[in-house]
Amino acid sequence: MRRGLEATSRRVCVAMLGGLAICGLSGCGPRFLCERGAMPEPSGPPRVTLAPGDVLDLRFFYTPELNVTQAVRPDGKISLQLIGEVSAEGKSPAELRSELLALYQSHLKEPDVAVIVQSSYHRRVFVSGEVLKPGVVLMPGTLTALDAIMEAGGFRLPTAEVDSVVILRHRDDVQYGYCIDLKPALRGGEIRPFYLEPEDTIYVPQTRITEIGQWMDQNINNLIPKTGIVVLTQTGNTTVGYDLR
């Protein structure tokens, strides 16, 4: 029976990712590459970079009159005294600082500057499906898929398909799908952390048995008068009973 449930879990995950691929090919959204292995799983925390909407504090140690707080514009740039416009999008705070030191070298005797990120507009992920509190989860630092699910209240058990959690990620106008198994974490075991990137979507699907139960309610049980009988249905080696009283 256990092998049967594991096979069902794999089918649920493959069906979901396959459905996304079909959707992309049919023109109802961006092109998808959702097969397992379409993109290597991240092996470590993602590189933190700046994006439009991020609010930056620039602090000059020896020339405080140049201090400024700015949001990265939609075109990815900021505008500073003496040097004009500077591209910030896609750079880490340390990389932007190094560029500013070089740009101010000819304008200031001691161009020491600190780049402080006050807020990151896009550093968030979305958690949906069988969790207790679906919604937006902020990620001020590194965040794993399991961390995000715990921030969303944890799995809704026993209806959550814990071994087929789906991660959706946009990159270069392509949406990639990952299917990960988080069941060992419920038993206190170790799992390889899956590090998230901003704007990722984590979806926890329902178990196959839950789907069968919902189908029974919608298509069979609701059509039968409540006469005090119990309807039994066979699922593999398991018998599920529905009390209609």
* pLDDT digit string, tens, across residues 85-106: 999 999 999 999 999 999 999 9
- Rounded mean pLDDT, 151-168: 92
Supply the pLDDT for residue 144.
Answer: 92
Measured CA to CA, the distance from residue 154 to residue 132 in angstroms comes to: 6
Euclidean distance between CA atoms 105 and 139, whole angstroms: 35
pLDDT at 23 over 90: no
Residue 8: partners with Cβ closer than 8 Å, 6 or more residues away? 208
* Rounded (10°) angle between helices 2-25 and 208-219: 80
Digit-coded pLDDT (tens) for 37-88: 444 556 567 778 898 989 999 999 999 999 999 999 999 999 999 999 999 9
Domains of the chain: which residue ranges?
2-45+123-203, 55-119, 209-243
The pLDDT value recorded for residue 123 is 86
What is the rounded distance in angstroms from the CA atom of residue 195 to the CA atom of residue 45?
6
* 55-119: CATH number: 3.30.1950.10
Provide CATH code, domain 2-45+123-203: 3.10.560.10
Position 130 pLDDT exceeds 60: yes
What is the spatial distance between Cα 203 and Cα 199, in angstroms, rounded to a whole number?
A: 13
Comparing CA positions, the residue from 218, 219, 211 lying closest to residue 240 is: 211
pLDDT at site 21: 39
For the chain, the 3-state helix, strand and coil shares in percent, each to the nearest 5, are 25, 30, 40
Q: Per-residue pLDDT tens for 177-213?
A: 888 899 999 888 888 899 998 889 999 998 876 665 5
pLDDT of 32 strictly over 70: no
